[in-house]
Structure 1
Amino acid sequence: MPATCQVRVLGGFGVTVDGSPVPAHAWRSRRAADVVKLLAIETGHRLHREQVMELLWPDLPVEAAGANLRKAVHYARRALGGPGAIAVDGQVLALWPDGCLDCDLERFNRDADTALASGDARACAAAAARYGGDLLPDDRYEWWAEEPRARARSRYVALLRAAGDWTRLLELDETDEEAHRAMMRRHLAAGRRREALRQFERLREALRERVGVGPDAETVALYETALAEGAEPPSVEQTVAVTLANGLVAWGRRNVEEAERLAKRARALALDAGLGHELGEASTLLALVAYARGTWHEQFRQEFADSVRRSANLENAVFDAHLCFQEFYLYGPEGHEGAESFGRDLLGIATAADSTAGRALAHLLLGEFALLSGHLDEARAHLDLSLTDAERAGCLSAQSIALERAAETQVRRGDRRAAAALLDRAMPLAHSSGIRSHLVIRIHGLRVLAAGGLVEALGAVRDGERLLAEATHVCDPCSMAFRIEAARACVRANDLGRARRHLAEAERISGLWQGGPWSAALWEIRAELRRATGQTTQAAALFLEAAELYSTLHRPLEEDRCRGAAGVR
């Protein structure tokens, strides 16, 4: 057997044996390489064969998984140069036990632990420089790599923090508040007050867009210190920023009255100054307060009425701020009952004010209501009107959602090609909108649904998974449709482990919304998983459970689909 083996797992996978790289084609199968990866990232480079079988073939019977493991080990040994490359000690597999094995992850962990224990900033910076990148990035969607990847990245972040490398930390995570604060202090110490103020604005924008929260009290106090050091008084924008930030701090402390007071003050200042972006942030905070009090409908109606009398810029900001709450209204525990009368009320307000943007938003709500009720012609008529008015008003988010919903009507009619074309139009609008963390994942979900075949559907699933893995933040409730459709596509592909992971995420998110159509959809996916494993009786019972839930929510198309799957009409 060759004497030395070097395994690289940071930044990518590669193996070098006695100085010669192992070519990709030598593995013969993906699972052969996966066995080596598993052993390389495990402490001691040893794993019981049953652990490997459970990690790589969780849905197969023991006999089938064992046969697959034997084949994978055979090909891995051939790629590495001999049978001793992966030894078997009883029931335990060991990687390169009798030679010199060098793994970059093991070296990085050792150097990182030594540097962190020393507390020396230079040593930590040197150890951080040896981080080659995230662990096994090409295996981003393999669940067995998630925990070791997170541990390695956590060590890297700890090294950067100990080294005071705030710039690189912000490159990794633009929402790292400690790093932003350190940069603000550095700017203030150097007399760069305006840079400190801009640093705060970058943080506030990142937190709003990516996480949906505001800076904490310590950061807000630092910002107020920077404002006070200036010769000129704070601008209206800066005053609103401080007011909103303190309002979010109050909300985080569950001081609802103070949060509402500050949000109303910020909203009044933003309205008077015509600050659409800041108005949207104030509306978001007011929506949170109103939702907590059960008064969201009244709050949105009032803000809608106020904004349509002013300018399209303000209308668009209010709509963006309330998007998730509107979707909760349509998809929440009571379904979409009452949505039609609410939409017609908003349409009347917008028409009286001669507001193009207001009409776009009202027609959108009416179109969504008709779609969920199964009235496809009526839905498409409202959605076309919404799209026309949204284009005139320049409301990107309303255009994106109108196209997305129009695509869904085409899918329900069986015209998947037309649906795909509409989604292609919607995607750049979603990316350009101010709420891309909400809209882009919705389109990915529709792309899975609109796919012309299983291969195309799985490609759409991978695209959505990549977005979820790489984006700093994606709105959880807005990702529900993607999770449901991804699970359904994975069941069809017999990738049941992957389907269960999407289902588990959907179940977690569904906990935010007690009841509602997502609960019905979850029962439907559970039924499809049971059917895929041959449990037809249990599957039929679950399909009927889903059908009953859809019936109570007045979702006839989904109800009929589930009753048909259960063999009941």
Structure 2
Amino acid sequence: MQATCRVRVLGGFGVAVDGRPVPTDAWRSRRAADLVKLLAIEAGHRMHREQAMASLWPELPADAAGANLRKAVHYARRALGGPEAIDVTGHVLTLWPGAALDCDLERFDRAADTALASGDASTCAAAAALYGGDLLPEDRYEWWAEERRTKVRTRYVALLRAAGDWARLLELDETDEEAHRALMRRHLAAGRRREALRQFELLRRALRERIGVGPDAETVALYESALAEGADPPSVAQTVAVTLANGLVAWGRRNLAEAERLAKRARALALDANLGHELGEASTLLALVAYARGTWHEQFRREFVDSVRRSTELETAVFDAHLCFQEFYLYGPEGHEGAEAFGRDLLDIATAAGSTGGRALAHLLLGEFALLSGDLDGAATQLSRSWVAAEATGCASAQSIALERAAEARVRQGDRSAAVALLDRAMPLARASGIRSHLVIRVHGLRVLAAGGVVDALSAVRDGERLLASEHVCDPCSMGFRTEAARACARANDLGRARRHLAEAERISGLWQGGPWTAALWEVRAELRRAAGQASQAAALFLEAADQFATLGRPWEAHRCRAAADA
């Protein structure tokens, strides 16, 4: 009697042979399960042995990879119940060639082909229902599954779009503007004007938090038409929302003058109405324009002078809007040159105005400058003052960064347990702050750095990876986590995972050339070479990283890289 085998790869991995599930502990080797996954997602469930070796053991020479493949085949056959489970003929491996093999991915692909070719909405909806979830989500950081995962998810999105299932699309991607716009039109057609306006606000918030952009012109025009349908004139908050949205459209078109004009108008309206959140958005747009013109310091100083004279709520909104730019200023291509003088200037302004929140931000800048310059005692003093002042004003974002940087100072002093304790205090503040998407991933990066060993470091990496999989984070703010995760994975000899984090870090760094990020990437590449046993190449790359860190005035990192090169 012909055997039957059902393989599930959508939403998770599972195998059942003749109706009996293969228990998790039957996979005596992780690579045995990976081999079955690899064959299950391959067309025809066949693969050349060299391709399998390159996918699962890319860092090993052919002899060692071949030996590992033979072991994986042996353990996979044992788990599945017999040698017929994986056939090896010549140089080709085949999954269950003599059995009735049913794979959920294959069924989904066939149904999607038929549905998309028909263009029928109900047929597309039925095909979409076969999608059980992302392909092999537990293997999110395995490069051999990434291309197939992206392809099948793209087809699922196409099915939902063809079916007009806009709500499901937004569950997958809350920044899908076409879906938001379709729901706005649906609400307006049904006379649900308030729901249409609320849909626009959901879109605007999602785009701002996840991508840092605003809705496009077509969506803004639809929102304005919905406002015009009401019996009452738009509220100040709604007027500010339209103004900011149009300002971001102008920014996207690189019309800096128009973007600045609209941002200033929105800022004035928000100040008159005491709208802290909207004021922060206007400040963010003004900061973008100023950064593009090379005048961010002047813009921030003007807003700082104005903000320290206002209420704590408005002051905090402006500070949150500029904190990410301040961090980029410290860690960007120009390094932290001039940061101390700038921080002293801000401290004088805040002290003269009697602004506790202003002092918190100025002390934070001075503390970070001291930390990067290697003055750990000075950093501890300034960061403590920043945290106390930030706590007094309830500014969660400044508290979180002050604690995070104090933890980094503790790591440099060799007190990892104290660093972890500080990070435990920083995490809830980061989550509660108005700029969560910037701060939480930074704490995860410091958790990796503060880990006491390989096991703890990999646990911290996994926590950060789960965050990246479930939430959007600011790309520049994720650089610390990406580089520390890559270093930790390389030291644990998980080279495929290390390369994935390095590739993401290189992508982000490519947007802003130069600076400490470039040096950090050289250090990660050196760690990978060292893990692969290429000692002389690793030493050369460590020295390159050390020289770049030293040039940027980063003595601690330079010393770490030189010590690694000597070792």
Name the SS of the counterpart of 2:445 in structure 1: helix
Q: d(CA) in 1 for partners of 2:185 and 2:148? A: 34
1:532 shift after superposition: 2.6
**Superposed displacement of residue 104, structure 1:** 0.7
Q: Per-residue displacement from partner, 1:119-143 (whole Å, max 9, x unpaired)?
A: 1111111111121111112222212
Describe the superposition over 1:513-538 as per-residue Cα deviations: whole angstroms up to 9, x where unpaired. Answer: 22111111112222222223333332
Report deviation, 1:435.
1.0
Matched residue type, 1:235: S
Corresponding residue number in structure 2 for 1:298:
298
Alignment of 1:165-564 (within 5 A): 165-471=165-471, 473-564=472-563
Contact persistence 1:336–1:369 (CA under 8 A): yes
Show CA shifts across 1:369-416 (max 9, x none).
Answer: 011011111111111111111111111110110110011111111111
Tell me, yes or no, if the aligned pair for 2:135 and 2:152 is still in contact at 8 Å. Answer: yes
CA distance in 2, matches of 1:175, 1:464: 22
Q: Shift of the alpha carbon at 1:541?
A: 2.2
Question: What SS class does the counterpart of residue 60 from structure 1 fall into?
Answer: coil
Q: Is the CA contact 1:32–1:76 (under 8 Å) kept in the aligned structure 2?
A: yes
Please say if residues 407 and 418 of structure 2, whose CA atoms lie closer than 8 Å, have aligned partners that are also in contact.
Answer: yes
| Alpha-carbon separation, structure 2, partners of 1:141 and 1:547 | 29
Q: For residue 515 of structure 2, what is the amino acid of its counterpart?
A: G
Structure 2 spans left out of the alignment, 5+ residues? none
Counterpart-to-counterpart distance in 2, 1:54 and 1:536:
23
Distance 1:535 1:130, change over 3 A: closer
What TM-score do you get using the length of structure 2 for normalisation?
Answer: 0.98
Native 8 Å contact 1:267 1:279 kept in 2? yes
Would you say how many aligned residue pairs link Structure 1 and Structure 2? 567
User: How does the TM-score come out when normalised to structure 1?
Assistant: 0.97
Unpaired runs of 5+ in structure 1?
Answer: none
Tell me by how many angstroms 1:246 deviates.
0.5
Q: Deviations over 1:450-479 (max 9, x none)?
A: 0111100010011111111222x2111101
Q: How far apart, in 2, do the equivalents of 1:147 and 1:505 lie? A: 15
Aligned residue in 2 for 1:139: 139
Output the amino acid matched with 1:94.
Answer: T
Q: Distance in 2 between matches of 1:331 and 1:171?
A: 34
Q: Distance in 2 between matches of 1:530 and 1:8?
A: 36
Distance 1:489 1:417 in 2: 18
Match of residue 67 from structure 1: 67
Secondary structure of 1:566's aligned partner: helix
Opposite residue 64 of structure 1, the aligned amino acid is A
Amino acid at match of 2:473: V
Q: Distance in 2 between matches of 1:562 and 1:71?
A: 38
Report SS of the residue matched to 2:562.
Answer: helix
CA deviation digits over 1:422-452, x for unaligned, max 9?
A: 1011111111111111101100000000011
CA distance in 1, matches of 2:183, 2:25: 47
Which whole-Å CA distance do the structure 2 matches of 1:520 and 1:27 have between them?
A: 41
CA shift, 1:500, in A, is: 2.0
Instruction: Please name the residue that 1:81 is paired with.
Output: 81
Pair 1:56 & 2:85 matched: no
- Using the TM superposition, give the Cα deviation of residue 2 of structure 1 relative to its aligned residue in structure 2, in angstroms: 5.0
Distance, in Å, in 2 between the alignment partners of 1:213 and 1:192 is: 27
User: 1:30-65 deviations in whole A, cap 9, x for unaligned?
Assistant: 111111111111111111111111111111111111
Partner Cα separation in structure 1 for residue 287 and residue 67 of structure 2: 57
Report the residue type matching 2:308 in the other structure: V
- Comparing 296-305 with 21-30, greater Cα deviation is found at 21-30
CA distance in 2, matches of 1:478, 1:293: 22
Structure 2 contact 141–500 (Cα < 8 Å) conserved: no
Alignment match, 1:41: 41
Instruction: Report what 1:18 is aligned to.
Output: 18
Q: Cα gap change, 1:28/1:537 in structure 2, threshold over 3 Å: closer, same or farther?
A: closer
CA distance in structure 1 between the partners assigned to 2:543 and 2:174 by the alignment = 46
In structure 1, what is the Cα distance between the partners aligned to 2:148 and 2:564? 40
Contact 1:430 1:439 in 2 (8 A): yes
> Which position in structure 2 is the counterpart of 1:566?
565
CA apart distance, 1:303: 0.7
CA offset at residue 334 of structure 1? Answer: 2.2
For residue 334 of structure 1, what is the amino acid of its counterpart? E
Task: After superposition, give the CA deviation of every residue in 1:146-204 in whole Å (9 maximum; x if it has no partner).
Answer: 12112222121111111111111112211111111111111111111111111111110
Structure 2: how far apart are the matches of 1:175 and 1:507? 25
| Kept after mapping to 2: 8 A contact 1:108/1:131 | yes
The superposition leaves residues 228-279 of structure 1 with CA deviations (integer Å, 9 ceiling, x where unpaired) of 0011111111111001000111111111111111111111111222111111
Superposition deviation, residue 488 in structure 1: 1.2
For the Cα contact (< 8 Å) 2:142–2:496, is it kept in 1?
A: no
Q: What does the per-residue CA deviation read over 1:99-136, in whole Å, with 9 as the maximum and x for residues that have no partner? A: 21111110011111111211111111111112111111
Q: What pairs up with 1:96-111 in 2 under 5 angstroms?
A: 96-111=96-111
Letter in 2 for 1:520: A
Tell me, in whole angstroms, the C-alpha distance in 2 between the residues paired with 1:185 and 1:332: 43
Deviation at 1:81, TM superposition (A): 2.1
8 Å contact from structure 1 (residues 279, 317) kept in 2: yes
Q: Counterparts of 1:437 and 1:287 in 2: how far apart (Å)?
A: 18
Deviations 1:197-239 (A, max 9, x none): 1111111011111111101111100000000001111111111
SS of the counterpart of 2:566?
A: coil
Identity percentage of aligned residues: 83
